[in-house]
Amino acid sequence: MTDASYIDTSKPHPARMYDWFLGGKDNYPVDEEMGRQLVAMDGRVLTMARNNRAFMQRATRWLAGEGVRQFLDIGTGIPTEPNLHQIAQGIAPEARVVYCDNDPIVLAHAEALLRSTPQGVTEYLQADFREPERILEEASRILDFDKPVALSLVALLHFISDEDGAYELVDRMMGVLPSGSHLMLSHGTGDFTPKTAEQAGDLYKSRGMTLALRSRAEVARFFEGYELVDPGVAIIEQWKPELGERVTDPADGPVPGYGAVARKP
């Protein structure tokens, strides 16, 4: 199990803030404090978190329905049911799922809560997305990289700047996966509220963190060379809404984020 001494409670962490946004209890006062500051800037922050979660569920249902049986989920966050493996294995009990996050507290909860079906496999790695080769090496013990894999990057890439190689990291991961693999991701944007997005970025920077909100065109760049699944790069709640329950009221307008799934030819 994880040694709690490695959990830094002096500064906020995106995974624990995300847990607070979703109404969870596995976060610290520093996470809640920053979460409340973000909500004060834009009350839709809580809806954004629920939207990302709902997108993951819909995309996983679609992928499993299309025959995908292997999933690599990076930036997992603290488990919140239904988790990716529960959806995938609910459709295909033999599905194999590897979760990965860089926060030790996530590992502690994952070890206790992420239970596989007898026919499938669920495993957890503690690693940072900036170490793609390490992730791939460890995941290869569970996943067969000669067969298609769905790489899940939900609400992750807006914490990695261009300078830190966000696009190159995705390319390095997808480059190892075989034809027929998929990339699924959701991403925050400042397209609809640029001033608020700038303020949020400044807040993250003041806490020693990165917030790299991207435009629709910049999000689409992650999918260059792949075959986008209809409806393409869409506002999150508009990506195959028929596959799950609606989180937002259409009358409230778009929640600032995009989601998409694409197939590697």
Residues 178-208: pLDDT tens digits? 999 999 999 999 999 999 999 999 999 999 9
Angstrom distance (rounded) from CA 166 to CA 149? 20
Q: Do 108 and 1 touch, CB atoms closer than 8 A?
A: yes
Give the domains, in start order, of the chain with CATH numbers.
8-78+85-245+255-263 (3.40.50.150)
With a cut of 90, say whether residue 222 has pLDDT above it: yes
With a cut of 60, say whether residue 1 has pLDDT above it: no
Q: Do 18 and 80 touch, CB atoms closer than 8 A?
A: no
Q: Do 176 and 136 touch, CB atoms closer than 8 A?
A: yes
C-alpha R_g of the chain:
17
Percent of the chain with pLDDT over 90: 76
Give the global pTM: 0.92
pLDDT in tens, 27-48: 999 999 999 999 999 988 898 8
Angstrom distance (rounded) from CA 164 to CA 53? 25
- Mean pLDDT score, 230-235: 98
Round the average pLDDT of the chain to a whole number and report it: 92
The residue among 152, 16, 1 whose CA lies nearest residue 79 is: 16
Residue 7: pLDDT band with limits 50, 70, 90:
confident
